[in-house]
Structure 1
Amino acid sequence: MANKLRKRSVLTRTSQPLHIALAVLVTLAWLGRGSSGNTRIVLYFNLPRHEFGRVQTVLFPVYYAFNALVSLVAFFAYFRTQCLTRFENTSWVQFALLLAVFSIEAYVRLSLVKPMLRAKHIKTSMEEAAGGGQEVGRLILGELAHCPRYLRVLKTFRAYHSTIAMGTMITLGCSLYSTMIIVDAMCR
């Protein structure tokens, strides 16, 4: 009888059944992914550049606004938790990381996405006028390689895009470190 109660307790009061279900689901998804060796999941390598750019134009603002909002909620949730515990075991590094992630994502959304998309629009218009942009996964300059205005716009676009990518990598690193702090605190 005691053995039955222990088994029932494991099934109803722990997250182990969820872990098993998740492992089964991931395994089934992996097995059912198809056997095509040429399939890529990245849109950049499947769509013509200008089509991918149209997708990017819609997704970038939403992605960074959503990330900034989630980061702000995480920061306030952590602050509220610390208020409830009277800041007894506060990790000020955690505060700094959460605030840095929010600040970078908000800055990217509010200051960098719009000018990057504007430069992308100008670049795309010039490429379409020259008959380009239908290549997949690479940029072929063609006659635009000798156009100083196009090269300036391309350089501007790439500068914004690279800065946004750097911000994304920094926020990912901060989020990873923040998660490690939480896991470390849970394991103590």
Structure 2
Amino acid sequence: MTTRIRRRLTGSLLTGAAATSMIVAGPVSARASEATHAEVTVPLVADCSTLTDRGRAYFRANDIQICGVGGSSRGVVSGNCGTSTIYVDRLGSGRGRVSWSIFAGGGSTMVFRNIAINWGPAAGGSFADVSPMAGLAYSKSRLVNGKGKLKASISGSVKLVGKYLTCTIPRHEAASVTL
């Protein structure tokens, strides 16, 4: 091959390679890598100092293992009695959802909830979820509108079985999503 043909062929290959790489490497949206869902779950903490003798008898009769039932809760400040989860979701441009759930562990029924939900800074707000209830699980959602970062937190308490025991929901918050 002559030098002239070799240069022309090499130049054509390099031009073709550059054109191919420009076609393949298209623009990437900044939103493509942003989270659309964030959640965090933490254990509910039993305040064993609030456990009554009647509650201890109920837990023992129903084989619910919490607060040293079958032994002594003296000196026991807390124990696991379920979980709490807070979620935030990006539903679309300027639209989001804040959701929360609680689950009672050990087969014990929740009879009252006193929950505080806060969200922001986008579409900032709060909600007091306070009500009698009867169940092992509970969840609720709020739709929010706004622009910017959205994150949410939950805190509060639930009472289990006939108000024998109070479980604290430690304050925790979900990572943010962008609305």
Larger radius of gyration: 2
Normalised by the length of structure 2, the TM-score is: 0.22
Q: Which has the higher helix share?
A: 1
